[in-house]
Structure 1
Amino acid sequence: MSALPDRHSGDYFELMPVALWEEDLSALKLIMAAWRREGIEDLEAYLAAHPDEVKRCAHSIKILRVNQSALDMLGAKTLAELTAHLAVIIRDDALAPYAQELLQIWRGQTRFTTTTMNYRLDGTRIDIRVNGRILPDETQSWSRVIVAIEDVSAQEDARRELEASELQARAMFNDSPVSLWFENFSLIKARLDELRHRGIVDFRTFIDVHPDFVEMCMLDIHVLDVNLHTLRLFQARDKADLLARLDEVFRDEMRGFFAEQLVALWDGRLRHEREVLNYRLDGEALNLILQFSVMPGHEKDWSKVLVSLTDITARKKAEAYLEYLGKHDVLTGLYNRSFYMDEVNRLERKGPFPVSVILIDLNGMKQVNDESGHAAGDAMLRRIGEILTQVVEKPGCAARIGGDEFVILLPGKSAPEAQAVLSDLARVTELNNQFHSTQTRLVLSVGMAVCKAGEKLEAAIQRADSAMYADKRAFYATAPELDRRSRI
């Protein structure tokens, strides 16, 4: 063992506020020399395969002395007490970091550093940063090494907490049940700032006049990351697949939605929400709630924004179906009486005139229901729905307004044009009867009237109704036995 330093340097060692250890690594030097003679070159792989060798190296170190700061750090009263409890202070979970220290010395470094953990004598874990140096006069023997140990538990706790927080945030991002996108909008921010610098005030008018500006901004979006739900939602194989095909996702109506988003950003709304329409990679439309937020700390450049997309496609389909039910007759697929009345009021106010009206009644419906059952009657009504769907083209409309009563409204159609529709109705009805030759024949009574400009539409409807009932009376007069197989 080398002679101790003189009294003055010893005082410095003892009085240093940092925990200091003076160690003798000469036994470690012999171990490493033996490894080199054995031809070991990749020490890292060797120690990974022989963890007991790390423990042997740790036990080979001889502690010459420690200062009071070191004793206080580990809760020991004397060097003897400290060395007697080294197995408590340095445990197995410290060996892996210690292996890194060995690798530095193996490579010829006379200075080494590592971060590891020790345990106080009361069992409390402390994180430490080790900085060691083989003294210049002892580089051949390694018999005197000064090691400074710093308690970095607070920093390490903060680091672990930060890592745990980041892992939790990453897990929340990846496993979120909504589609999440991290995007960079800094180029868009620069474009908007440039417009303000040029004196543009009315941004909405600007993009109306320069629609290409919206297109350029869409191309300026840089997608930083997406979560797993996004890949599932858009049916992408992986992130690369999705990012390579963004033009298939954001297209058509998305330009209008994005223009409104730009207006919101121009107005300073860095957090906003709206409904948008995107497309899956298989072409299926997706109705989505888009929530946009510039991340805290990025308000100056918009370099990181979070976009969340909530799929409301099923809800929109349900709403559309409910809206459909509010306007349509489920059995025939035609418009219902409620829509018909609204359309009459609309045409009464706005036209266009003339408006032709055709009223239709199915003859013999009651007898079919009585003799063959309501299922047979419903089948006949569905057939009428099929016929009127083929015959009536927009802007005309056909509606079921009663049990077996139907109406056709033909805005902007004159009497000759309405007569052509009646001819089509007779022709398609006959074709339908031929196709359903084994079922009851459809026999319709019809009446037509034309409402000219300045006339009340209700009056024309009453005339058409009267004409339809006249046609029905004429039919029953020729077929008192209700045989309806020979006439439309």
Structure 2
Amino acid sequence: MSQKSKKSTTEQYPQEAAERYGKLVESSPYAIVIHIDGKVIFANKAAAKMVGVKNIEKHIGRSIYDFVHPDSAQLVKDRMALIQKGKTPPTVEERFVRLDGSSIYAEVTSIPTIYHGEAAVQVIIKDITEQKLARQALQETNQALKAIFQASPQAIIALDLSGKVTMWNKAAERIFGWSRAQRVGNVLPIDQGRSEIKQYLSATVKGKSFTNIETKMRNNRGLVIDVKFSTAPLTDSQDKVNGLVAVLDDITERKKAQKALEKSESRYRSLFEDSPISLWEEDFSDIKTFIDCLKSAGIKDFKKYFDEHPEVVSTYAKMFSIIDVNKATLKLYKAKSKEELYDNLPKIFGRDYDNFKKELVAIAKGKKQFETECINYTIEEEPRNIYLKWIIPKGSKETMAKVLVAVIDQSGQKK
């Protein structure tokens, strides 16, 4: 090979290498920028797309700080200083500004280089905005979940597959008495009702969920407490069950209150049923609603209104409903059953609505009790001179959904 031929080949290789490098840079999915003393002298298509410019040539010569977010300006200056000292700075995360004013997050690698014979800096920029925002959203979600976990009034407990506690919130500390440090890494303190709870936990780690299961457990003082719990399996990134979470409510006081209420209700029902006086439980809520509507329509003199509208009174007379009556009521009206009594109410009350009008006026005036004397009839149509009194118990004063009525037969006295 001649000397001339060797020289031609030697000159060709750098040219071909430069062309290949140029194509590689232009086709790179990462933004690549070259700057000298902070002035942009080259940027590829990916860089143009990243900052939102159509013609990158118009922006050649601009300062790199025109595209650097103020939050990252000092970081860029510090990295430039390292390069000037001949050092290569590590890859870092920086924030940039697009042409439309929006910002992006990027992973930046800066490398000292020679460009057309001059010392320059080649910057490779990977847009990580989506990943960054996703991480931020995940962090915010985790922080919110941690806050909910600690602030929850319910005990939240997580177990691994061996049954050891991995999470134990403040409510769990309050309900059971053990601190987080005392329980994490140890098995769940199950004693009372152990076999039942174990069955639910075993089924949960097999993928099942349970809600509102009531059972008994013990606290750190050995006292039995009533709890209601729900469970769900925990899974890893591959959707494999790696534990479970349980949410527990201490319902001990609720259970005590429920038993006391049941006992009180039982005592009340006994007194109600066995009273020698006729007692009724009635619901006036529909009547109360309609009277409130009349008030909204501007009616003030209800006695006058009901006197002038007897059809309204007869309609209202059909609107109250009976919740229950006692044995003495059946005896007074000679009914064999409650059903027979209810079927014969029009016969029992008759069609004289004067006393019922008085009741309506009392309701309209907001009275909490009412009394009157009137005539009722037995199912066999025998008249009864009665004294009637009703009161509204606590809890029903706003709606009148429950009204207690006492009826005393005065027929013998009237005679």
TM-score, normalised by the number of residues in structure 2 = 0.49
Task: Give the number of the structure whose residues are more often strand, by fraction.
Answer: 2
**Structure having greater relative contact order (Cα 8 Å, sep ≥ 6):** 1
Task: Give the number of the structure whose residues are more often helix, by fraction.
Answer: 1
TM-score, normalised by the number of residues in structure 1 = 0.43
